[in-house]
Structure formats: structure tokens, C-alpha cells
């Protein structure tokens, strides 16, 4: 009979489970065909943090390096667990409060053209938001000027139950978010997602896509150290290009030579 320590050690080598409800295909990078929704530690963290922020109707800040799965984890959780509450704002590079108003008017499904008078459109937006708990998601939130943060604060404070707003930013954007004093008292949590660790690579990638189901951990570690470096986005990119190479060559499985060729072709990060 295995001891408790042995059971924990065995569990630590098992593949991460798949989500009961898979993410829509378009949420995967490059809409990767046959990609699966793996419940990684990062996705689990976001699930817990978003559930609490939604319950409290407060802000949630999700940070991390590019490609670690911040946006995927937030949208997957919101869409699969809070489908009626999820509001994604697709803002440009230099948005202003009027852009926020226009995007909220559209995303909330309000009829007609957005009023040009700020007070009039704010009244419509507040009325729609007060109909039930919502989750407003802003990607690359560090690009917003102070006026946009102030507008989100206004909405949060004006609604009787508050407003759950998820702000997603890269590691370099953390300073911009922490400079917003209003977040210090209104954020339910600050969450930083990390790249996959060495022990997590085979537990994640072997179930992420059928292409890697039978690939040995040694080969997965090699590919990660030479190309992906713990980034789920780079693993999706690699998978996409390997699939194309297999189609072009007629091969059924990626051998080491084909993998090296693909990496040399797509990895621009190490070139002068």
C-alpha cells in the first residue's frame, strides 16, 4: 500500500486534467485546431480569484509575462462559468473614456447609436449594468490613461452592488496599474501568472494537443528549453507550425529532425 507521501509524489507526475467545459476554439492562440483546455495551475488560480472578485463585485488584476495564458484563463473562466456576465472590451492602443462608453454600449447590447452626451450614455450604461452582476474584462489595461481608470472607478462606486472589472496586463504594465491609487482599496486580488515550470511541461503539453500525446518528456523538455520556455502561446505556435510541416511532408509524426527545422524557421527571438 502506498504511503501518503508516495501518493502525493505520484499525483505530482500525473497529467493535469481537462476542463469539464472546453474553451471555444477561438480563445486558443491561432485558433489552434484540436487544442484542449488543460486545467493548469494558472487556470486554477484565475478560477478561484475571478469567482471571489465576481462575488464581491470588485476589481481583479491579472499580471504575467506575454504568453503565459492570462487572457485565455480569464476569458475561459468568464465564458464557461459566468456566461451571462462576461463583457469583453476591445480597446485600441490609446483609449479614452468615450471609447469605454462606446464599447460598453455595444457590448451590453444597448439599442441605437450611443448618445453623444456623456450623461445620457452613462445613464443607459449604469441602468444596464445594475440589472445583474457583470464581469468587465479589459486586456492590456496598462495602456489606459488615468481618465479611463477614473471612469471605471466611477462605474464601480456608482452601482449599488459594485462592479467586477478584470484588468489584464503584462509584467511591464504592473507599475502602471499599481500607480492607480483607487485599485489599492477596490481590488479583490492581484494575481501574477508564471510560465510553466519544468515539472509542469509534460503534465500540460502531453494533454494540450494530440500531436504531443506520445512524445516523451525528454523531447518535450528539449523543445521547451530550445523554444517555448514555459510559454503556452509559444507551444501553440510550435504546434501550429509542426502540423503544417507534417501536412507538407506527408509525415504522420514529428521526428527530431523535422522539429529542429520548424524551430529554426519560426524562432526569431535568437536572431541578431
Buried b (16+ CB within 10 A) or exposed e, 139-157: bbbbbbeeebbebbbebbe
133-154 pLDDT tens trace: 999 999 999 999 999 999 999 9
Same structural domain, 63 and 115 = yes
Same structural domain, 81 and 184 = yes
Distance CA 37, CA 17 (A): 9
Quick one: what percent of the chain has pLDDT higher than 90? Answer: 86
Distance CA 50, CA 207 (A): 25
Distance CA 13, CA 257 (A): 28
* Dihedral Cα 184, 187, 188, 190, nearest 10 deg: -80
Same structural domain, 81 and 187 = yes
What is the span of the domain harbouring residue 206? Answer: 196-266
pLDDT band at 10 (very low <50, low <70, confident <90, very high): low
Using the 3D structure, point to which of 145, 176, 193 is the last residue of a domain: 193
| 22 Rama sector, left if φ>0, alpha if ψ -120 to 50, beta otherwise | beta
Same structural domain, 97 and 152 = yes
> Taking a C-beta distance cutoff of 8 angstroms, is the pair 183, 177 a contact?
yes
Using the 3D structure, point to which of 177, 193, 209 is the last residue of a domain: 193
206-241 pLDDT tens trace: 999 999 999 999 999 999 999 999 999 999 999 999
Within 13 A of 171's CA, how many CA atoms are on the CB side? 10
Same structural domain, 218 and 185 = no
The span from the first CA to the last CA of the chain, in angstroms, equals 56
pTM of the model as a whole: 0.92
Q: Which of 114, 132, 133, 131 is nearest to 122 (CA)?
A: 114
Taking the alpha carbons of 242, 247, 249, 250 in that order, is the dihedral positive or negative? positive
Q: Which residues lie closer than 8 Å to 76 by C-beta, 6 or more apart? A: 19, 23, 27, 37, 43
CATH number at residue 180: 3.40.50.300
Using the 3D structure, point to which of 167, 193, 219 is the last residue of a domain: 193
Question: Which pLDDT does position 271 carry in this prediction?
Answer: 41
Question: Which pLDDT does position 13 carry in this prediction?
Answer: 81
Taking the alpha carbons of 185, 56, 81, 91 in that order, is the dihedral positive or negative? negative
Q: Which residues lie closer than 8 Å to 158 by C-beta, 6 or more apart? A: 126
Q: Which of 188, 195, 163 is nearest to 89 (CA)?
A: 163
48-88 pLDDT tens trace: 999 999 999 999 999 999 999 999 999 999 999 999 999 99
> What's the number of domains the chain is made of?
2
Q: Strand, coil or helix: what is 254?
A: coil
Is position 94 within any domain? yes
Same structural domain, 179 and 63 = yes
What value does the mean pLDDT of the chain take?
Answer: 93
Amino acid at each position: 500500500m502506498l504511503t501518503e507521501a508516495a501518493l502525493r509524489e505520484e499525483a505530482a507526475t500525473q497529467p493535469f486534467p481537462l476542463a469539464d467545459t472546453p474553451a471555444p476554439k477561438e480563445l486558443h492562440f491561432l485558433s489552434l485546431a484540436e487544442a484542449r483546455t488543460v486545467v493548469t495551475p494558472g487556470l486554477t488560480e484565475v478560477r478561484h480569484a475571478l469567482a471571489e472578485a465576481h462575488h464581491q463585485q470588485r476589481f481583479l488584476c491579472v499580471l504575467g509575462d506575454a504568453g503565459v495564458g492570462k487572457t485565455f484563463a480569464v476569458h475561459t473562466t468568464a465564458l464557461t462559468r459566468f456566461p451571462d456576465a462576461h463583457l469583453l472590451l476591445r480597446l485600441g492602443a490609446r483609449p479614452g473614456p468615450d471609447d469605454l462608453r462606446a464599447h460598453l454600449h455595444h457590448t451590453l447590447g444597448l439599442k441605437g447609436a450611443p448618445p453623444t452626451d456623456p450623461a445620457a450614455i452613462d445613464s443607459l450604461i449604469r441602468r444596464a449594468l445594475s440589472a445583474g452582476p457583470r464581469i468587465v474584462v479589459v486586456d492590456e489595461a496598462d495602456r489606459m490613461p488615468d481618465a479611463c481608470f477614473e471612469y471605471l472607478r466611477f462605474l464601480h462606486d456608482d452601482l449599488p452592488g459594485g462592479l467586477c472589472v478584470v484588468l489584464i496586463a503584462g509584467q511591464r504594465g504592473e507599475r502602471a496599474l499599481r500607480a492607480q491609487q483607487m485599485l489599492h482599496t477596490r481590488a479583490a486580488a492581484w494575481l501574477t501568472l508564471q510560465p510553466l515550470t519544468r515539472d509542469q511541461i509534460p503534465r500540460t503539453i502531453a494533454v494540450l494537443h494530440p500531436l504531443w500525446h506520445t512524445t516523451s518528456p525528454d523531447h518535450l523538455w528539449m523543445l521547451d528549453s530550445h523554444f517555448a520556455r514555459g510559454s503556452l502561446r509559444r507551444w501553440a505556435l510550435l504546434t501550429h507550425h509542426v502540423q503544417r510541416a507534417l501536412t507538407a511532408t506527408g509525415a504522420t509524426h514529428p521526428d527530431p529532425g523535422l522539429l529542429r527545422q520548424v524551430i529554426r524557421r519560426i524562432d526569431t527571438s535568437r536572431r541578431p
